[in-house]
Amino acid sequence: MMRVEYINPFVSAAYSVLEMVLGIEPEKGQLAMRPGIFTTQQCNIVMGVTGKVEGSVIYGMSLTTADKIASHMIGQPIRTFDALAASAIAELGNMITGNAASLLSEKGYTCQISPPSIIRGSNVKISTVNTPALVVPILLGDFGFIEINVSLQERK
Amino acid sequence: MGKRILVTDDALFMRVTLKNILTQHGYEVVGEATNGRESVEMYKNLKPDLVTMDITMPEMDGISAVREIKKIDPNARIVMVTAMGQKNLVVEAIQAGAKDFIVKPFQPERVIESVQKLLGN
């Protein structure tokens, strides 16, 4: 059973991390439920979570948003989405998920995170198999938006 | 001559960021390790004045690396720089011998303040 309370730590963590990293005030969009298979955004950070809750968290954004965020983090415009840009975007996912894991642990759901992977491409379908994902868009002003897909279950 | 620092993080972006912050403040980054095992090996060879250490890394995690480095040099000065801020990890890292714990994302001043406190200005 996917519980709504699992997504709140990710929203709180995303707010604080994005505010600090991008220097903007993020806004929350409409929460929605997704089936086990969905079409992703063009650039996705995929993170694994293990422990008392387990599953995956996918941060999706457009290529333009990824370029803008990476440029801001690196401190200069990026010409191509190279290893440094990918690493910056991956680190964003790592920071949000790491902070969210701390918040989950405070609620008693101790968990660890696995290193991020980046998936880029159009019309990519991702299946979270048996756990439907809850999705919240986080609006980032001129940067665009990031969708947070949280697909977690309590470990039996 | 600036104090010599070894940066440990599996993320290229984070190594570049830390290196920029440190060199801008007059410190010399003598090595960049991409996991705990590399950091331990580089510590032996480079004998840096301070090490920054991520936790979640392939091959050997940061807390195990702190323990290994402390075996080589009980006076090693190591600062954890990680996205994982859980209390149990902070406690474990400090017990292993880390001197400070910085949670990502951080302001550059937070890193400099920590390094200055441990190395003196």
Q: Is residue A156 part of a domain?
A: no
Average pLDDT over residues B94-98: 97
Q: Are B88 and A110 an interchain contact pair (Cβ–Cβ within 8 Å)?
A: yes
> Taking CB atoms and an 8 Å cutoff, what residues of chain A touch B14?
87, 91
Q: Is A111 inside any structural domain?
A: yes
What is the pLDDT, as a whole number, of residue A64? 96
Residue B23 CA, distance from chain mean position: 15
Q: What is the pLDDT of residues B32-90, one digit of tens each?
A: 999 999 999 999 999 999 999 999 999 999 999 999 999 999 999 999 999 988 888 99
Q: What is the pLDDT of residues B67-78, one digit of tens each?
A: 999 999 999 999
Rounded-to-10 torsion of CA B5, A118, A3, B85 = 0
Q: Report the domain count for chain A.
A: 1
Please report whether residue A100 resides in a domain: yes
Residue A129 domain-assigned? yes
Q: A20: which chain B residues are within 8 Å (Cβ-Cβ)?
A: 105, 107
A95:B86 CB<8 A: no
Annotated domain spans of chain B: 4-119
Quick one: pLDDT at residue A95? 97
Given this model, what pLDDT does residue A132 score?
Answer: 84
Q: Is residue A80 in some structural domain? A: yes
Assess whether pLDDT exceeds 70 at residue B1: no
Q: Any idea which fold B4-119 has?
A: Rossmann fold (3.40.50)
Q: Do B83 and A110 touch (CB under 8 A)?
A: no
Residue B36 per-residue DSSP state: H
Q: Would the pLDDT of B23 be above 80?
A: yes
The Cβ of residue A60 has, within 10 Å, a number of other Cβ atoms equal to: 25
CATH code assigned at A77: 3.40.1550.10
A74 and B56 within 8 Å at the Cβ level: the answer is no
ipTM value greater than 0.85:
yes
Residue B13: pLDDT over 80: yes
User: What does the alpha-carbon distance between residue A45 and residue A148 come to, in Å, rounded to a whole number?
Assistant: 10
Q: Write out the residue range of the structural domain in which residue A101 sits.
A: 4-151
Residues of chain A whose pLDDT is less than 50?
A: none
The answer to whether residue A87 sits within a structural domain is yes
Per-residue pLDDT at A24: 96
Q: Which amino acid is present at A151?
A: S
Confidence at B101, pLDDT banded by 50, 70, 90: very high
Query: Chain B closest CA to A90's CA: distance in Å?
Result: 8
pLDDT digits (tens, 9 = 90+) for A55-86: 999 999 999 999 999 999 999 999 999 999 99
